[in-house]
Homo-oligomer: A and B are copies of this chain.
Amino acid sequence: MPIAETPVRLPIPPLPRGFRVAGVHAGLKRNPTREDVTLVVSDLPATAAGVYTTNLVFAAPVAYDRALTPGRGVRGIAINSGNANACTGARGLDDARGMAAAAAGLVAASADEILVLSTGIIGEFLPLEKIGRGLERAAAALGADDESAVRAARGMMTTDTRPKLAGATFAAAGTTYTLFGMAKGAAMIGPRLATMLGVLLTDAAVEPADGQRLLREAAETSFNCVSVDGHMSTNDTVLLLANGAAGGSPLSGAGLEAFGRALTTACEALAREIADDGEGATHVLRIEVRGCADREEARTIARSIADSPLVKTAIHGADPNWGRIVSAAGYSGVRFDPAQVRLRLNGTLLFEAGAPVRFDADAVSASIKGARETLIELDVGPGPGQIRFYSSDLTAEYVHLNADYHT
């Protein structure tokens, strides 16, 4: 498929120095224009960090990568879509290792220098031969141009309608560094599919422990602030590779802080893209909760609102139904005083001091209809804890995609 046909939302960010990527069709997806195997290679050994699903039922690639991150000497990531390698027992772990070994052989590395990511159907064994042949062709196609980046991002996609890319630059001690990110996920959803995956690459040198800490912090305000259907995947993984190809010693002090900010910016952009591309979504819900004791309480309230089918259908119907929003906050488990709650929807005050407020419902409804993003602002008290959370609306199309279209 010519990449001109691929809708790409964000500007395509440049790859950092010393990274090459490729995405090819290897036959895991039926449609031959859909890439399903992606290879990411670092010409220099990179430090690696990873954050993973907290689901007790986690997939083989999660187990495999967890053992290798944070760490050093990583040469690449082998990725497939169409099969999650989840709930596949001991053979699944062997297969994850086999996939890493296949990629390692192509770039003169050892298996434990390659990380793996899988997403797709749960409970079927990986078609290792197909993936091996795909990795061979990917290794021959590696590049650092825009088309390679888009094809690599497409190779991670399942029910996503478009690849998700984000980038940033940052400077430290006179050197300008590049950060590249790609992710997939129409959240944790899809016909028999699951998972969000993210890959962040930088040419800065970052110590493994620093990379791990900053990646975890970035995930807290990005990938951990997005929900389409509240169903946590078995495969969720975000990986960071830092190869130092731009030169300079490992980042510290202000340089490390600049990197952390760039990482957070890129992760937040990718996370918003995931909510925006939620299956069947016609609206993105941007939920800002403020005035809590701490950020975790704000997250809990925001998630309760984000996951309520009643809130999600109300926004789909352009209905400024504040009762659903306030009651979803009320059952979140976080204690607050309802008399102190203030709710705004697209800037209009709807509820305050425990009682409804007069407002122009038609105007608010029109503001929901007129924009892709709906802003829900909930203040629950005087505390410092706040969060920004993204979700998508719930539509009949979501139901059709997940009930009627079998694989």
Contact = CB atoms under 8 A, between A and B. Distances in A.
B88 A327 contact: no
A128 interface: no
Contacts of A324: 122, 192, 231
B329 A57 contact: yes
A231 B398 contact: no
A396 B402 contact: no
A112 to B, nearest CB: 24
Contacts of A127: none
Contact of A309 (B55, B194, B402): B402
Given A87-B351, A310-B231, A330-B57, A194 B323 contact: yes
A148 interface: no
Given A87-B351, A229-B309, A330-B57, A123 B402 contact: no
Contact of A316 (B189, B326, B403): B403
A326 B57 contact: yes
A310 B402 contact: yes
Interface in A212-266: 229-234
Contact of A328 (B231, B319, B400, B404): B231
A123 B356 contact: yes
A399 interface: yes
A282 to B, nearest CB: 10
Contacts of A141: none
A322 B317 CA distance: 32
Contacts of A56: 329-331, 335-336, 338
A110 interface: no
Given A56-B335, A194-B327, 11 more contacts: A57-B329, A57-B341, A88-B356, A124-B356, A192-B323, A229-B309, A230-B308, A231-B308, A231-B328, A310-B402, A314-B402
